[in-house]
Amino acid sequence: MTTAPAQHDPFRRSAWPRIAAVVLALYIVYACAQLEVSWARVHSGLDNAAHFFSRLFPPNFTRSDLLVKGLTESLEIAILASTLGIALALPIGLAAARNLMPAWVSWPARLLIVTARSLHPVIVAILFVKAVGFGALAGILALTLASIGFIGKLFTEAIEEISDKQVEAVRSTGAPFVSLLTYGVLPQVFSRFIGFATYQLDSNLRNSTMVGIVGAGGIGGTLFAAFQRFDYDYVCAILISIIALIMVGEIFATAIRAIFIANATFADLFRRGAAMREVRHSEDD
């Protein structure tokens, strides 16, 4: 008499996920106790937050000249840092790609990228403020370093994920290395690189409003001074202006992606916006 073979259970349960969940729950309780997080502190914090937010409104836009000056400086810092950082990140990211470069080139480039990503932009801004003094230059240098770390890492990963067939096809023709990059690598990573670049610009717009808190230029210095004066209605005006600036940057980034990736024209951008509005009106009806 033959016995039927045991069926393999593809959804076999393991005890390790339950153990990991229990360990995580215990650690959360332990961390809350160490950090003195309690319901009493949360309750008092909510009361303080309600009082604080009540003092924010209505926003005060009377000092619009100072507000515009700070926003303009933040925008200039973001654009300059993004341009310089992306321009430097391209060769560094290319040098860090292990499928194109030997180890003695890729590992130092990877070390440089890791170093650029290790510290928060505010910490780097503090270092540059001490090095070059207060002002926009410190903010530009700090965000440039942050851009090198972010764009360099993503660009390296994008190159390492490309298909080797197209690269080998170009290499088999005896083309030089520059042609190999132009026809074998760049077409495979161009759309992703545009996405990386527009996201970094958006990130630098946000960070440029933050590095000013430590004296690296931008609207952050004005925001910090308003907090110190307890001028909360002006703080609300600054926050609303920062949100508006980020929204404009998002619209600009979306347009850039449509132009470079989808080959859209400026007329297409407005046409697409009108088409989306018509779809929304038809859905509402």
pLDDT tens-place string over residues 190-199: 778 888 888 8
Instruction: Kindly state the average pLDDT of the residues 26-41.
Output: 82
How far apart CA 254 and CA 157 sit, in angstroms, is 23
pLDDT tens-place string over residues 200-240: 888 888 888 888 888 877 788 888 888 888 888 888 888 88
Pull the structure tokens for residue 57. 């409104």
Pull the structure tokens for residue 41. 């502190």
Q: What is the pLDDT of residue 283?
A: 42
- Render 7-30 in DSSP notation, one character per residue: PP-TT---HHHHHHHHHHHHHHHH
Q: Domain segments of the chain: what residues?
A: 64-265
pLDDT tens-place string over residues 84-101: 988 898 888 888 888 877
pLDDT tens-place string over residues 249-285: 888 777 777 777 666 665 666 665 554 444 344 444 5
SS3 content of the chain, % helix, strand, coil (to 5): 80, 0, 20
Q: What is the pLDDT of residue 278?
A: 47
Q: What is the pTM of this model?
A: 0.74
Which has the closest alpha carbon to 120: 128, 110, 131?
128
How far apart CA 257 and CA 232 sit, in angstroms, is 37
Which has the closest alpha carbon to 67: 247, 220, 274, 254?
220
Q: What is the Rg, in whole angstroms, of the alpha carbon atoms belonging to the chain? A: 26
Name the residue with higher pLDDT: 163 or 150: 150
CATH number for the segment(s) 64-265: 1.10.3720.10
Single-letter amino acid code for the residue at 168: E
How far apart CA 74 and CA 238 sit, in angstroms, is 12
Q: What is the pLDDT of residue 276?
A: 44
